[in-house]
Structure 1
Amino acid sequence: MKKPLLWALAVVCAGLIPLLIPGNKPEKRAADSSAALRERSSGFERYEIKNIEHPISAAGSDGSDFAPNLATVPSQPELEPVPEDTAILGPQRPDTRELELDTEKSITPNSNKPVEGKVAYLTFDDGPSLSTPRILQILNEYEVKATFFVIGKTSEESKRQLKNIVNQGHALGNHTFTHNYNQIYKSAEAFKADVDRLDRFLEETVGVKPEVLRYPGGSNNQLSWRAGGRNVMKTITREMSKLGISYFDWNVSSTDAAAPVQDKQSIIDSVISNSAGKSKIIVLMHDMDLKTTTVAALPAVIAHLKSQGYRFEVLRKNSFTYQFLKP
């Protein structure tokens, strides 16, 4: 009976021996394997986060298709924080406001001879103003003539700018003396009196009586209804035309009147789009203290029109005209 018992004890001891040897516990081996896996995994995650590339070439040009799911990135407290703008969002799009400052540089005047028949009439309303000297400088640099529809500004500086406009070969147009809708649009008589007043002022100041007229707000403006009724513009345009006075609206708007200070690029884009497909254009812009972006956009406007083969002329009595309301 003692031998079988001894053999049983020997078998049990043989099974316990591997467990007593260091490094041979199953739990220890499993733990080691798990730790090694985590270490390899952690190293991979660190590499991927620090070397992530913004998939802008694979997505749209603006990266709009890239929407990383940050929840899928495993949390690793030991990792150093990665700057969000470079690691997660990738390279940012450039600030377009800075690019707009150099817009005119991207449009080069065409050195070819202008195509016969394409004519551009640049017109500036409501001057003279603080913007006039710079407008004149740009026009001179590009060797372009324009038409200034002026109002009755009687300061000495305004008179000096009126003389500069004429002396540099540009044309003066009548835009009424007061530019006061409630006053000038009461009747045909009231309108004519205001026009005559500006004619006298300009003749006394620069020795020029304008050949051309532009109605404040255009020939079909509805603001005149408040002063003279719904048909007042029909009456005024008919009576002024009987006197042989030529009036000019516009077929290309720069949209610089759409806001106190319109966006420069919007002005450029408006002239480009509104002039497309037209052989003769009258471009509406404004010569006012606040219209600094009109001045800033002017070089690009001129350069584009030149590149499209336009030549520039001033408006005269028998020039091409565009009228919203026929007399």
Structure 2
Amino acid sequence: MGTVDVACWRRWDRSHGDVVPSPALFRGEIAMNKRRVALWLSPMLLLIVVLAVVGWQRYIWVPSPPPPSAIPEATPKTRQYVRTPYVENWDQVPLAEFERQSRKFPGEVFVEGPTHRKLIALTFDDGPSWNTAKLLDVLAKHKVKATFFWLGREMERYPDVVRRADREGHLLGNHTWDHPDISGLDETTLWDEQLGATQQVFQDLLGYAPHLMRPPYGRVADAQVPFLAKHGLKVIQWSVDTQDWNRARQAFGSHMIERFLQDYSHPEGIVLMHDGGGKRHKTVEAVDRAIPWLRAAGYEFVTVDELLGTRPAPAASAPAEASKNEWIPAPSRAKVPETRPKSRQYVRTPFLEGQDQVPLAELERQARKFPGQVFLEGPTHRRKVALTFDDGPSASTGALLDVLARHKAKATFFWLGREMERYPEVVQRADHEGHLLGNHSWNHVDFSDLNDAVLWNEQIGTTQQVFQKLLGYTPHLLRPPYGRIADSQMAMLKRRGLKVVEWSVDTQDWTYAQNGLGSQLIERTVQDYVHPEAIVLMHDGGGDRHRTVSAVNRLIPWLRSNGYELVTVDELIGPTPPKR
């Protein structure tokens, strides 16, 4: 007898005592149970079908192109504004700010074209990357010209892609060197380390420098706009943000990007997409499908120059056959000399909302207030990088030391006293192999609320004693847990001979481990944000760090192939005091 049969017999026994049912009654109860299940499942199946149809129509089904607008094409627009909605909790620049700046700086800041012609400009940021060649293939297939705003650092990695895009008639613009928020930069830093350095790469690769720029995140200060104009650069924002950068939307596939183009495209729109900064195959797929749809809707594809009339007049001496991009002579500035001091120290990687991080501006403020005591990065522009690891030692540290030994690379470790007592052999091995060791407290507490006595006696001092016991010396570098330390604690640390080392590149391997994401994201973060004399934050403790170990194994060859030398923090920031 099956499970259902036994259940039927038991129900019959409870309700009829010792009376034995006939086989016909037994079969009838089974049939009734099946009908009940069918009646319960039918509405659920119908609901699933309805939701699937609605989802298909909303996100996948391609709507018919809209009817032609009744507004005459030559009618000037009364305002410039962003059509796509604001995304909460993404630290976006307020959309009203775009409109305000375009009103305040007419002819210098643009959000869209000035009239109602059925023209549209596709623009792509953050490249070039390994995706860009495929995107160029799609644009060539459809005979479409686009506008690219590129990072100088990435252009040096993909020079052939840069030359190809220029050769095929696309318009190229400046998107800074390594994608910082430029709104807080002084003019010297803005030019020497970001825009001017990227202009020089354009000059080296193509023989000209562009006249258009797009600020990362769309953030530019009012005071910087006249400075940009003085250097012949116009600011190009956007009126349609496809939000292909939004990982939550990427999960729905390229159809979401395509749908935004269909829903929000408008006459003389400037469309924001990305060909770099991550995996962009979904953007490439969306563009391939959206171009025919937009053409069916009556749109003609143009570059930003053709849309806005921003092409400067060529110099009188320029030959008639000059490249369409050769408007402005390249700046006379050379690349930033390696020995030139930096004008500021700051974190390149973006702030993560909802993670209780120390504000990035606070790290920069303390580095300014305590020069020679608090460090975020090295002081000049040498192509050196210091890999640092926190929260160990742990079960993962041995594998990490194996990787470093295989690549003959030295790193800096900031360790917890409690964990050092658990793994004394690992501590001694790291010291023996020439790595630099620093103090990371006893058990990873937030320093900022502790008084000096507790901070030393229960956290830093006790860890120094473990170093003394295991290695015979105490370190001179400290990294506060979470990067948090009070200004009032600096004097005590200085008396104790400790310098505070923060970071300029946070790989965010601690959040990828929490979310189960792969080592490729750690690797990509370093590739996207590394810079001369960077201090890179990773972790060898505090959780399962096999992803970090895997990422480091691939990163070291990549960094060396891009001209970086791997050094310890001491080699980056200054002379090493004698061990004591």
TM-score scaled by length of structure 1: 0.60
Task: Pick from 283, 293, 296 the counterpart of residue 285 of structure 2.
Answer: 296
**1:274 match:** 264
Q: What letter is aligned with 1:135? A: L
1:260/1:200 Cα in 2 relative to 1: closer, same or farther (>3 Å)? farther
Q: What letter is aligned with 1:291? A: R
**1:15 match:** none
Note the 1:70-149 alignment, pairs <5 A: 107=62, 117-149=117-149
**1:192 match:** 191
Q: Give the distance between the partners of 1:199 and 1:260, measured in 2 at CA.
A: 34
Number of aligned residue pairs: 240
Q: Report the secondary structure of 2:153's partner residue.
A: coil
**1:38 match:** 25
Structure 1, gaps ≥5 residues long: 1-30, 65-92, 221-232, 322-327
1:312/1:153 Cα in 2 relative to 1: closer, same or farther (>3 Å)? same
User: RCO (CA 8 Å, sep 6+): is it higher in 1 or 2?
Assistant: 1
Q: Give the distance between the partners of 1:260 and 1:61, measured in 2 at CA.
A: 22
**1:14 match:** none
Note the 1:1-327 alignment, pairs <5 A: 35=22, 38=25, 41-42=28-29, 45=32, 48=35, 55=42, 60=47, 62=49, 107=62, 117-153=117-153, 158-181=158-181, 185-193=184-192, 194-220=194-220, 233-259=221-247, 262-263=250-251, 264=253, 265-275=255-265, 278-288=266-276, 289-316=278-305, 319=308
Q: What letter is aligned with 1:262? A: Q
1:141/1:213 Cα in 2 relative to 1: closer, same or farther (>3 Å)? same
**1:9 match:** none
CA contact (8 A) 1:119 1:311 kept: yes
1:286/1:40 Cα in 2 relative to 1: closer, same or farther (>3 Å)? closer
Deviations 1:233-282 (A, max 9, x none): 1111132234442111000001022238823232222222222xx21111
1:142/1:272 Cα in 2 relative to 1: closer, same or farther (>3 Å)? same
Q: Give the distance between the partners of 1:317 and 1:246, measured in 2 at CA.
A: 14
Shift in Å, 1:212: 1.1
1:254/1:238 Cα in 2 relative to 1: closer, same or farther (>3 Å)? same
1:121/1:39 Cα in 2 relative to 1: closer, same or farther (>3 Å)? same
TM-score scaled by length of structure 2: 0.36
Deviations 1:101-146 (A, max 9, x none): xx5xx65998xxxx97211111111111010111001111111110
CA contact (8 A) 1:211 1:316 kept: no
Higher alpha-carbon Rg = 1
1:38/1:216 Cα in 2 relative to 1: closer, same or farther (>3 Å)? same
1:257/1:48 Cα in 2 relative to 1: closer, same or farther (>3 Å)? closer
Shift in Å, 1:179: 2.5
Deviations 1:206-249 (A, max 9, x none): 223212111111145xxxxxxxxxxxx11111322344421110
Identity of aligned residues (%): 25
Q: Give the distance between the partners of 1:308 and 1:124, measured in 2 at CA.
A: 22
Q: Give the distance between the partners of 2:26 and 2:123, measured in 1 at CA.
A: 73
1:208/1:317 Cα in 2 relative to 1: closer, same or farther (>3 Å)? farther
1:261/1:57 Cα in 2 relative to 1: closer, same or farther (>3 Å)? closer
CA contact (8 A) 1:56 1:63 kept: no
**2:534 match:** none
Shift in Å, 1:308: 1.8
Shift in Å, 1:190: 2.5
